[in-house]
Amino acid sequence: MTKNIQITIPELPSGKLTESHFKLIEGEIPSPQKNQVLLKNIMLSIDAANRAWMQGATYRQAIEPGDVMHGYGICSVVDPNGSHFKKGDFVFAEIGWQTYGVISATEITACPDHKPLSHLLSVLGIAGKTAHHGLVQIGKIKEGETLLVSGAAGSVGNLVGQIGKLKGAKVIGIAGGQEKCDWLVNEVGFDACLDYKAGKLGKAIAQTCDKGVDVYFDNVGGNILQSALFNMNQRGRIVCCGAVSLYDGQSLAGPVGIPGLIVVKRLKMEGFIVFDFPEKDVEAENEIKTWIERGELKIYEDIITGLSEAPKALVGLLNGENRGKRMVEVT
Ligand SMILES: NC(=O)c1ccc[n+]([C@@H]2O[C@H](COP(=O)([O-])OP(=O)(O)OC[C@H]3O[C@@H](n4cnc5c(N)ncnc54)[C@H](OP(=O)(O)O)[C@@H]3O)[C@@H](O)[C@H]2O)c1
């Protein structure tokens, strides 16, 4: 009989996350209780935030030692158990890193009819909406402005840069390594990209952004945010999307210059979570779909096969292995 494969995290990391923090176990497929449905995992989203959830409660509950690793993705309904879902329906759900899971029917949402399903986790999913809402609602990017984006080759970052170009901005990325930077310029269409691992980032930003930075889309925080701050124009906007440079056991770093630079340059620095703009979701989705149909927005996905590869996939993402949206195809 088929078993349920689960990946648990017996002990939370105090330093860098490694594959050895995870444990693969086999168990029975659970039976849904009243108001629950039984789901089978199809595709898991692998996110930098998965690591942040190990640091404590944020906008959601923290991961506790011994938990099945938390994670969100697309599942198919195996047993609707009297709910309004049908067997075989595709749904968004968070049953974590396991092949089967039970969850309350109120905690799942039907997927729209779209193929391939992976797009619903990448460009038409959280990554696409995070990029669009952050840049448009918070950054308020305008034609002719200079946009700087960190984590530029990642799932959110590459879309921020592409959307910035479509909105008429000059787009400068920040990414780890010359090879990634060359890819962003030659393939993705950024105007320039700076390798933060090469050092002297502040100087490189100043040289490349010759008219200063109007909008900085910050995916990483720490020292990179610090370098960006000093290059902001008067009345610039800093979009605080995440702080991946501080998730994986690094000591909390900078930036200095707050609030001094914020005051003197009249900057706006604002954080957001993708779920903050439900009333703008359809508008963002429609604009993204139009760009895709016209061939103006490229989709970069990085799909790894097999649930057992999930630990490696997350550790690799934190080490900068991915280009575009990383996912694990479970079934
Ligand atoms: N606010 C929201 O609602 C929301 C929603 C989704 C994601 N996010 C945030 O968006 C950011 C990107 O997340 P993602 O899941 O899309 O991951 P991702 O960008 O696809 O992958 C993470 C990337 O971070 C970079 N990185 C790792 N360590 C770094 C360091 N010390 N300094 C600079 N860059 C580093 C790596 O690229 P390099 O090779 O360039 O180092 C890696 O590829 C995260 O901060 C995440 O929390 C926020």
Pocket of ligand 1 (CB under 6 A): 47-49, 126-127, 130, 151, 153-157, 175-176, 180, 219-220, 224, 241-245, 272-274, 317-318, 320, 322, 326
The residues, ordered by sequence, that sit 6+ positions from 146 with a Cβ below 8 Å of its Cβ are 169, 170, 172, 209, 211, 212, 213, 214, 215, 233
219 alpha carbon to ligand 1 midpoint, in Å?
A: 6
Q: Which atom of ligand 1 lies nearest, measured to the CA of 326?
A: 20
Q: Where in the chain is the domain with CATH 3.40.50.720?
A: 126-276
What percent of the chain shows pLDDT beyond 90?
93
Q: Take atom 35 of ligand 1 and give the residue whose Cα is closest.
A: 245
Report the percentage of the chain scoring pLDDT > 70.
99
Distance CA 83, CA 298 (A): 38
Q: Are 74 and 95 in contact (CB under 8 A)?
A: no
d(CA 233, CA 237): 9
Confidence of residue 258 (pLDDT cuts 50, 70, 90): confident
**Who contacts 174 (Cβ-Cβ below 8 Å, separation ≥6)?**
148, 149, 150, 151, 152, 193, 194, 196, 201, 205, 220, 224
Helix (H, G, I), strand (E, B) or coil at 63: coil
Query: Which residues face 304 on adjacent strands?
Result: 328
Average pLDDT over residues 24-48: 96
State whether CATH 3.40.50.720 applies to domain 126-276. Answer: yes
- 154 Cα–ligand 1 center, Å: 6
- Per-residue pLDDT tens over the stretch 276-301: 999 999 999 999 999 999 999 999 99
Per-residue pLDDT band at 110 (split at 50, 70, 90): very high
Is the CB of residue 11 less than 8 Å from the CB of residue 63? no
* Region(s) of the chain under CATH 3.90.180.10: 4-122+300-329
What is the rounded (10 degree) CA torsion for 264, 238, 168, 132?
-160
Q: How far is the CA of 48 from the centre of ligand 1 (A)?
A: 5
Ligand 1, pocket-test mutation among 122, 132, 219, most atoms within 8 A of CB:
219
Residue 220 Cα to ligand 1 middle (Å) = 6
Q: pLDDT digits over 93-106, tens only? A: 999 999 999 999 99
The C-alpha angle 199, 128, 150, rounded to 5 degrees, equals: 10
Residue 305 has pLDDT above 80, yes or no: yes
Q: What is the pLDDT of residues 175-197, one digit of tens each?
A: 999 999 999 999 999 999 999 99
Measured in Å, residue 330 CA sits from the centre of ligand 1 at 22
Å from CA of 209 to ligand 1 middle: 22
- How far apart, in whole angstroms, are the C-alpha atoms of residue 147 and residue 139? 9
Q: What is the DSSP string of 270-327?
A: EE--GGG-GGGHHHHHHHHHHHHHTT-S---EEEEE-GGGHHHHHHHHHTT--SBEEE
Locate the ligand 1 atom nearest the alpha carbon of residue 242 and give its number: 45
Check if CATH label 3.90.180.10 holds for domain 4-122+300-329.
Answer: yes
Helices and strands: H and E segment counts in the chain: 9, 15
Q: Which atom of ligand 1 is nearest to the CA of 48?
A: 15
Looking at residue 88, its pLDDT comes to 97
Is 154 in contact with 219 (CB distance < 8 Å)? yes
Q: Quick one: CA dihedral 318, 322, 324, 328, positive or negative?
A: negative
Summary mean pLDDT of the chain:
96
- Residue 1: pLDDT band with limits 50, 70, 90: low
